[in-house]
Structure 1
Amino acid sequence: MSPARSAGLDLLKWLAMATMVADHLRFIWPTAEWLFIIGRLAFPLFCLAIAANVARSAPGQMFTAANGRYLGWMLAFSVLSEWPYHVLDVGTGTLNILPTLTLGLLVAWGVHHHLRAMRWVALGTLLVALLASDVLMYGWPGVLLPSAFLLALHGGRGTWLVPGFVAALANLTNHWLRTNVFEPITLMTAAAAVVAAPLGMGVLRGHYAWRVWRVGRWGYLFYPLHLLLIKLLSL
């Protein structure tokens, strides 16, 4: 992929944030179960955005200032978002979404960059994900999802099926969904997760005649702030 600014990537990030906000609006309207289904698009779209960012760098060019900043921002907001996340979702048993995405970034780097050190980092990260799966949102399959998208970006037609399957598996780390696998909402959840893959890849690869507003580093701050805002609105 071109290292130039991608309108498709920015549009993908906007779609991911919009579906994430839709999901969290359930804390204001608990009876709106359809928002939960829309929200299942968000995580796969964020994972695809990570894969697209990783794919924009040349294999082997891992230890750069840009990658250092990228990891630093992810780690910082993994910590800063934890309190707002638990303020909004009091009964949750998992960490916020950013630790899963950060671990997914490390594994994707190991897949993309043909460096022995990064392969060991990826293997170690995957081991951590397996051991900590119960406290990670979307569990170990969620950590693998950016890498599944990365492979799909380099593949041919139909390769979206792999990240689609992994996205559906990641949703089944939810205890209620896993124990009620044939309930309509579970089936719709899995379908939304699968559909997110071709939808996101279509958005990413699209050609746009209009200007897409850039999603910059303010996007990291958007996550904890929107959690607190929705909490205030729900009171």
Structure 2
Amino acid sequence: MSRRDGALDLLKWLALLSMVLDHLRYVGFSADWLYVPGRLAFPWFCLAMAANLARGGASASPWRYLGWLLLFSAVSEIPYRLFIPNPSTLNVMPTLVLGLLVARGWQAPTREARCLATVALLLAALFSSHLMFGFFGVLLPLVMLLLFRRSLYLALLPGLVCVAANQWRVLYGAAWLGDGVALWGLVACLIAPWLGRVLLRQAGRLHPVPMRRWAYGLYPGHFLVLLVVRQIAA
């Protein structure tokens, strides 16, 4: 792109804010309701990835984009495990790495890209329980990309994939029993892709601080900051 997309930068900032709000639940405050805005973070990061691919940002230098994700997948794992008590999965970056490979495999007509996408799908299927958001989380960037320039109504389809990626059985069971947080969490998962698409269409005139490569460090960095806050509040 010749011009910086302000709406895309805004989407990334809001996704980061949603993630931080979600992780505030682990600082020690009684704030389970933060789970609801936290459901927006992952689908908005996936939508930002799909937007980069659709507009040529990531496809122009796919190895560099993949390299940064791989680097911070490794860098983020220790801060993630220090902050999240007894994590059952890896941090979210490996899910995004596999999701990028799958989406690129559909977008690029090369044998190399298709082979990498196949390997990524196999890894996602075999190690789904170790990936944050699991197999469906790996598929979400591709679904976002397939429907990126389609009708906004079709954005509800990625919403269903988002629900599946967010342990929908647990959410559905709790919502069925009348748990308000679970009910609103389901709603947030369903509408998150649609809300993100609306933002990308309507917020083009805004110009937030651009999220460049330095922003990758915000992911491991926010774990360390929140860890310090938890130690002070303890």
% identical equivalent positions: 42
Q: Which letter maps to 2:20? A: V
Q: CA–CA distance in 2 between the matches of 1:189 and 1:150?
A: 23
CA contact (8 A) 2:171 2:186 kept: no
Q: 184-193 or 102-111, which moves further after superposition? A: 184-193
Look up the match of 2:98: 103
Q: 223-232 or 182-191, which moves further after superposition? A: 182-191
Look up the match of 1:44: 43
The change in CA–CA distance for 1:209 and 1:158 in structure 2 (over 3 A counts) is closer
Residue 233 (structure 2) pairs with residue 234 (structure 1): no
Q: CA deviation at 1:117?
A: 2.7
CA contact (8 A) 2:152 2:197 kept: no
1:119 to 111, 114, 137: 114
Q: Which letter maps to 1:38? A: P
Q: Which runs of 4+ in 1 moved over 4 A?
A: none
Q: CA–CA distance in 2 between the matches of 1:152 and 1:79?
A: 31
Q: CA deviation at 1:181?
A: 5.5
Q: CA deviation at 1:127?
A: 0.9
Q: CA–CA distance in 2 between the matches of 1:226 and 1:176?
A: 27
1:205 to 198, 201, 204: 201
Look up the match of 1:75: 70
Residue 167 (structure 2) pairs with residue 166 (structure 1): no
Q: How does 1:1-235 map to 2 (within 5 A)?
A: 4-57=3-56, 66-172=61-167, 176-177=170-171, 180=174, 182-183=176-177, 184=179, 185-235=181-231
Q: CA–CA distance in 1 between the matches of 2:43 and 2:64?
A: 23
Q: CA–CA distance in 2 between the matches of 1:124 and 1:68?
A: 16
CA contact (8 A) 1:3 1:57 kept: no
Where structure 1 has 5 or more consecutive residues not aligned to the other structure, the ranges are: none
CA contact (8 A) 2:92 2:132 kept: yes
- TM-score with structure 1 setting the length: 0.90
2:202 alignment partner, SS class: coil
Q: Which letter maps to 1:199? A: L
CA contact (8 A) 2:7 2:206 kept: no
Q: CA–CA distance in 1 between the matches of 2:88 and 2:52?
A: 30
Q: CA–CA distance in 2 between the matches of 1:166 and 1:90?
A: 27
CA contact (8 A) 1:106 1:121 kept: yes
Q: Name whichever structure is richer in helix by fraction.
A: 2
2:207 alignment partner, SS class: coil
Q: CA–CA distance in 1 between the matches of 2:80 and 2:203?
A: 35
Q: CA–CA distance in 1 between the matches of 2:110 and 2:202?
A: 32
Q: CA deviation at 1:134?
A: 0.3
Instruction: Tell me the number of residue pairs that the alignment of Structure 1 and Structure 2 aligns.
Output: 229
Q: CA deviation at 1:157?
A: 3.8
Q: Which letter maps to 2:65? A: Y
Q: CA deviation at 1:170?
A: 0.3
Q: CA–CA distance in 2 between the matches of 1:22 and 1:36?
A: 8
2:147 alignment partner, SS class: helix
